[in-house]
């Protein structure tokens, strides 16, 4: 790989004002030379204006700006040449074909970033953040990915790993050179060091609940009795008239789906048919789909008509959601009509909480917009916890990272038990090394080729 020069189109497929072809490898300059007629020779870190020519006839095909990055001060750590021409697919494909004819080969998906990782320019968490940034659909996702790409997660892990390595080295020295009067660490001191190392890793592990939804988003199913205001709330959250709303109960017969952003997090909203005994085949099918959507959702939003209170169907939804493990929210809707109506609203809210003790209740009015902002915040908190403060810090955003930190914590927990049980230090060190392997897997210091292939295969070609 180190001796091959690779080439790919780095801009999206299709026509555009500008298209970029990127080369990386020891022969990058040599490969592009026949294609270009430059006014000045390529120089590291400088953009040069010139012409793209037909290698056979010498005819001018386009104007181009060519930038050269010399190893090791480039993205991949190798010589990199980027040709920016007009974004006609035929021109970009011509450049790639001629580069391949000149000795380069087509890059694999994510190969530029993989070379950056293998050259030590970035660690594995930063490499994953590159793909997250490209795939981001909200500005908040882009901000989080940019911080991760800048090493926010690596900055948390590095000092923890350094402390763990220092503990291992000290214990190894105590075992290997005991005859030289190097003191073996006392059990209390080892336990204290393990606790110090565990604390930031436990905080990091807890960050996954929020980091996962920032990266992947979540699904929210809006359920409830007919005419409780589900579609009206759906339209309020979508901020447009997406679902049909009428005064006739049972208007929604099928699920209606829309993608929105809540506090920068992508959410798939699902409006469902009202839960009741269906009066026709179409309505019964819609109700069946409502129950399927509720089972698949990360968050269930039960809309309750405040003028009616909790009905039998509402209680069943709360109990089913609580058993299924979904986060449950209760929108106490039409609260603008409750004032002056007989019945204690707070009693009804307490009854709703009894159905699902961990559920949150938000008073809303789809008609006036009252409580919609609070409902949005409650939805995000229900699925991600109170993790909003993590946005400015490094956090775990995918399952691979989470599993690596869990492995590190398991090793530390086993080591803690070994200390309290008086197990010899030689055996205790095995647990500490297991923890170290977890941290190494997180940053990519020790990662199998299969894992690397899986990670970088998800990238687009040219990145």
Tokens 């106490």, located at residue: 332
Residue 342 has what pLDDT? 39
DSSP E strands, 306-438: 327-333, 360-363
CA angle 104, 105, 111 (to 5 degrees): 115
| Helix, strand, or coil (residue 294) | helix
What's the token pair of residue 299? 């968050």
Residue 340 has what pLDDT? 46
Mean pLDDT of the chain: 84
The answer, as to whether pTM is greater than 0.75, is: yes
Query: According to CATH, what is the number of the domain 6-107?
Result: 3.30.1360.120
218-389, what's its fold? Rossmann fold (3.40.50)
Does the pLDDT value for residue 245 go beyond 50?
Answer: no
Residue 361 has what pLDDT? 84
Task: List phi, psi (to 5°) of 73.
Answer: -90, 60
Query: According to CATH, what is the number of the domain 129-207+396-456?
Result: 1.20.120.430
What's the token pair of residue 256? 């209606």
Q: Cis peptide leading into 72, omega within 30 of 0?
A: yes
Least confident residue range of 35-49, 90-104, 242-256, 309-323:
242-256
**Residue whose C-alpha is closest to residue 147's, from 384, 386, 395, 380:** 395
Residue 27 CB contacts under 8 Å (≥ 6 apart), including other chains: 5, 103, 104
Residue 240 has what pLDDT? 66
Residue 391 has what pLDDT? 59
Over residues 109-129, the pLDDT tens digits come to: 999 999 999 999 999 999 999
Characterize the bridge pairing of strands 256-262 and 218-224. Answer: unpaired
Q: What percent of the chain has pLDDT over 70?
A: 83
Domain chopping of the chain, boundaries: 6-107, 129-207+396-456, 218-389
| Helix, strand, or coil (residue 69) | strand
Least confident residue range of 47-61, 72-86, 292-306, 420-434:
292-306
Find the length of the chain: 463
Rounded CA-CA distance 89/81 in Å is 19
């Amino acid at each position: 790989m180190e001796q091959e020069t690779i080439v790919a189109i780095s801009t999206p497929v299709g026509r555009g004002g500008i298209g970029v072809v990127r080369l990386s490898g020891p022969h990058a300059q040599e490969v592009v030379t026949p294609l270009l007629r430059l006014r000045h020779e390529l120089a590291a870190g400088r953009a040069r204006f010139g012409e793209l020519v037909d290698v056979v006839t010498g005819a001018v095909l386009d104007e181009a700006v060519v930038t050269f990055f010399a190893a090791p001060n480039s993205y991949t750590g190798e010589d990199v040449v980027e040709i920016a021409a007009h974004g006609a697919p035929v021109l970009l494909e011509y450049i790639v074909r001629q580069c391949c004819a000149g000795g380069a080969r087509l890059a694999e998906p994510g190969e530029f970033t993989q070379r950056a990782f293998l050259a030590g320019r970035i660690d594995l968490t930063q490499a994953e953040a590159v793909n997250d940034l490209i795939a981001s659909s909200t500005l908040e996702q882009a901000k989080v990915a940019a911080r991760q790409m800048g090493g926010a997660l690596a900055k948390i892990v590095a000092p923890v790993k350094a402390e763990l390595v220092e503990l291992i080295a000290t214990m190894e020295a105590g075992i290997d050179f005991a005859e030289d009067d190097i003191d073996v660490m006392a059990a209390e001191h080892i336990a204290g060091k393990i606790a110090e190392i565990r604390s930031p890793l436990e905080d990091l592990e807890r960050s996954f609940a929020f980091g996962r939804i920032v990266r992947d988003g979540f699904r929210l199913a809006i359920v409830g009795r007919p005419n409780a205001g589900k579609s009206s709330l759906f339209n309020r959250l979508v901020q447009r008239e997406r679902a049909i709303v009428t005064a006739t109960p049972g208007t929604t017969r099928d699920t209606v789906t829309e993608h929105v952003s809540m506090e920068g997090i992508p959410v798939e909203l699902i409006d469902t048919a009202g839960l009741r005994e269906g009066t026709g085949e179409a309505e019964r099918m819609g109700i069946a789909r409502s129950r399927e959507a509720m089972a698949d959702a990360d968050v269930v939003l039960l809309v309750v008509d405040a003028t009616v209170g909790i009905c039998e169907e509402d209680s069943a939804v709360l109990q089913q959601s609580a058993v299924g493990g979904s986060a449950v929210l209760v929108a106490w809707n039409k609260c603008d009509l409750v004032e002056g109506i007989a019945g204690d609203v707070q009693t009804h809210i307490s009854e709703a909480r009894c159905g699902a003790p961990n559920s949150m209740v938000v008073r809303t009015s789809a008609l006036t917009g009252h409580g919609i902002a609070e409902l949005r915040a409650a939805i995000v908190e229900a699925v991600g916890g109170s993790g909003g403060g993590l946005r400015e810090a490094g956090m775990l955003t995918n399952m691979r990272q989470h599993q690596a930190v869990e492995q590190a914590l398991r090793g530390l927990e086993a080591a803690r038990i070994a200390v309290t049980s008086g197990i010899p230090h030689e055996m205790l060190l095995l647990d500490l090394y297991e923890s170290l392997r977890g941290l190494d897997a997180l940053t990519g210091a020790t990662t199998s080729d299969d894992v690397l292939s899986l990670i970088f295969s998800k990238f687009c070609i040219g990145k």
